[in-house]
Amino acid sequence: MSSPYGDAAGSRPAASSEAPADRVSRTSIIPTSGATAASAPEAAETTVVPVVAPAAETTTLAAVTPDEARDAEDGGSHAGTWDDEAEETPRRRRRWPWIAAAALILVGVVGGGAYAYSEHYTDAATPGTTVAGTDVSGMTRAEIVSLVEDEAAKSEVTITGDATATASLADLGTTVDAEKTADAAMAASGSVTGRFKALVDHTSVDVVTKTDVATAQEYAQSLVPADKTAARNASVVLSDDGTSFVITNAVNGTSLDASAMEEAAKAAAQDLTSKSISVKYSTTPPAVSDEDAQKVADAANALVAQDVTVSNEDGSKTFTPDEATKASWVTVTAQDGAAPTLGANGSKIGEWVATEGATLNVDAVTGVRNVNSKGDVVETVTEAVDGTKVANMDEIATALTEAFPKGQGWTGTFKTETTKAEWKERTIADGAENLAYQAAEGEKWIDIDLSSKTVTAYAGSTVVRGPVSVVDGASATPTVTGTFHVYLKYASQTMQGQNADGSDYKTEGVPWISYFYEGYALHGAPWRSSFGYSGSHGCLNMPVSDAKWFYDWDEVGTTVVSHY
């Protein structure tokens, strides 16, 4: 019978006892169940078993019959042999391309799988990533945010004991930052190195939280019933008369441990689960005792008692605030868990300085000179007077605000500067210098001459109507004198008032009225038939036609000069 490899089984040369270094070890073919030693080699089901070769050797598989396998097991008495070198060389040449191809395929498969893995977890949490013990592997950032927000919203703190309530994390001032938590869970996915490292180094992410202690304290106090008084600190307040400071007494209170609730909320947020806590009422002493507050009140009253004086430069005027004013300068600021602190109210101090300093300010008076058409000064109507102004009010206020809280007293000086007066020149009409009013060229004005009992209308120095005889005020009700201006006009009006003897009068339908000062006016007097004497209540009674002319001619603002 021929061998599968082309040689007769019985004609192979015996194997050399010393195989060359590059020769292969052989393999045994062991019959499987159902085959016997007597079975024909072609019919037997065989199992290929490699014979272990030294590490430096190359292993080659050779097929043998069951008889040959038994001979090999018996020491080789029946084993056939052949020239290994002659057979191995062509076999090796046939085998290496397949090995290379297999290697390339293996590299491709591994590389492709690695690339697919890396790409898959670019936008997803890497394997083994957990948030608060929950596996988020393969989840996107948005999915992790949603998960954390949902779980946080469901997390509560159940409060039992002296108070009973169910508080959300927000009630106790604890906030879960789902965005930052998701960022931490996705950190490894941000780099190729991180994605592959995650295969062996799993990530456990803590929930990112923050806590507002004040909110937890407020919630804890809200659970205390109204019939149980909250602790109240002693405080420092202004007395009823506003000149000193007194205290309000401290009061012990009942409270709940806000810190325990706060810690329970933190734990619930970290685990994204609900927690339970039992609380008890406790008597809470105030953080600020009566003794603490009294020390502050005494210090405040010392500030009020100090001397503060500001004077002008020559010392002729001094300004000293009273007790109530100084008390208004003291600020009392409450502190969390500590006695209040004192300071100075710069705004109040600045107001006082400005008020007192303003009394030294003198506005400059603008001088008025009438000049003729040649520019010569005809008359000085108003003398120019320089003014003064305090120049350092801001500096005084700042220095006093800094010194006042020290309680050592303070003095300062207002410094003034001169405000130069200006002159205003008024060109008058030629010839007006000799009239009762030096009007500008064309300027309307009315001259009331009480000596001649006449009224004259002028435009500059030119008479446009008059003189018109009038009835002026009687001796008991004289017409006012001075320079005035028309300010109100009526075509007709009912006039009423009191006579010199105290009796009332009322006159209806008085026509063409031009008021120039309070109740004094030019108006028509249809009840009179003669003029040129004194006998009115103070107004200038005129013939109706003349009164209408003046009413039509004058304007609100027209100058009226009344004189003897």
Strands 416-419 and 387-390: antiparallel
* 144: Cα separation from own chain's centroid: 31
CB-CB contact of 49 with 27 (8 Å): yes
Cα angle 458, 463, 469 (rounded to 5 degrees) comes to 90
DSSP 162: S
**Strand order from edge to edge, sheet including 423-427:** 377-382, 367-371, 423-427
- The Cα–Cα gap between 412 and 51 comes to 114
CB-CB neighbours of 408 under 10 Å? 10
User: Which tokens in the block code for residue 503?
Assistant: 């009796």
Helix axes 258-271, 213-222, angle to 10 degrees: 120
Pairing outcome for strands 488-498 and 235-238 = unpaired
Give the closest residue to 61 by CA, choosing from 124, 129, 4.
Answer: 4
Segment holding 86, helix H or strand E: helix 84-120
Please list the residues that pair with 504 across neighbouring strands. Answer: 498
Helices (H), 343-451: 346-358, 393-403
Q: Mind telling me the catalytic residues?
A: 523, 539
Q: Kindly write down the DSSP assignment for every residue of 485-523, as one continuous string.
A: E--EEEEEEEEEEE-TTS-EEEEEEEEEEEEEETTEEEE
